[in-house]
């Protein structure tokens, strides 16, 4: 297990700095190249491929969701060990989302909505994986 999967970022950490980790950078790139295009199938502006990654560089909440979803995707496609990282970032993201004040700017700017969309996809992928786990 990597050191990354043993701890998550705190809210004080800057996502841009977190991307100095090659492991996180790979998950971030995987999101942009493999996951986001599914969201953008009918969006000519490619909001999830362009805007979400740019926002995630400065918004830990959205960054956690991007990494969680991407790592869950990787855990199902190429490296099952990525599930630990996916779960860690998912847990961190959910905690931050729950702690948001109703008047928080992240809600007003749509960051919380985009985060919720990504988390829903995470949960769908996680559920599919759980459905195929032998009992």
Residue 10's pLDDT is 45
30-37 mean pLDDT: 96
41-55 mean pLDDT: 94
Q: If you ran DSSP here, which 8-state letter would residue 110 be given? A: T
Does the residue 8 lie in any domain? no
Closest CA to 122 of 38, 17, 25, 5: 38
Place of tokens 């492991």: 23
Cβ(34)–Cβ(56) below 8 Å: no
Residue 6's pLDDT is 45
User: pLDDT tens-digit profile of 121-132?
Assistant: 999 999 865 555
Distance CA 49, CA 31 (A): 8
- Per the prediction, the chain carries an average pLDDT of 87
68-88 mean pLDDT: 94
Does the residue 2 lie in any domain? no
pLDDT more than 90, % of the chain:
75
Number of domains observed in the structure of the chain: 1
Does the residue 38 lie in any domain? yes
User: Residue 9, exposed/middle/buried by CB under 10 A (0-12, 13-18, 19+)?
Assistant: buried
Does the residue 1 lie in any domain? no
Residue 56's pLDDT is 96
Domain membership of residue 29 as a residue range: 13-131
Cβ(84)–Cβ(129) below 8 Å: no
């Amino acid at each position: 297990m990597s050191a990354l999967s043993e701890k998550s970022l705190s809210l004080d950490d800057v996502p841009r700095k977190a991307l100095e980790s090659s492991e996180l950078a790979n998950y971030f790139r995987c999101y942009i190249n493999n996951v986001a295009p599914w969201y953008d199938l009918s969006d000519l502006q490619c909001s999830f491929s362009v805007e979400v990654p740019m926002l995630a560089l400065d918004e830990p909440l959205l960054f956690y969701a991007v990494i969680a979803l991407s790592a869950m995707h990787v855990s199902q496609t190429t490296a099952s060990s990525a599930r630990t990282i996916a779960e860690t970032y998912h847990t961190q993201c959910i905690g931050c989302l729950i702690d948001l004040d109703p008047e928080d700017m992240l809600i007003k700017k749509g960051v919380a909505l985009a985060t919720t969309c990504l988390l829903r996809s995470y949960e769908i992928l996680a559920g599919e994986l759980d459905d195929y786990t032998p009992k």
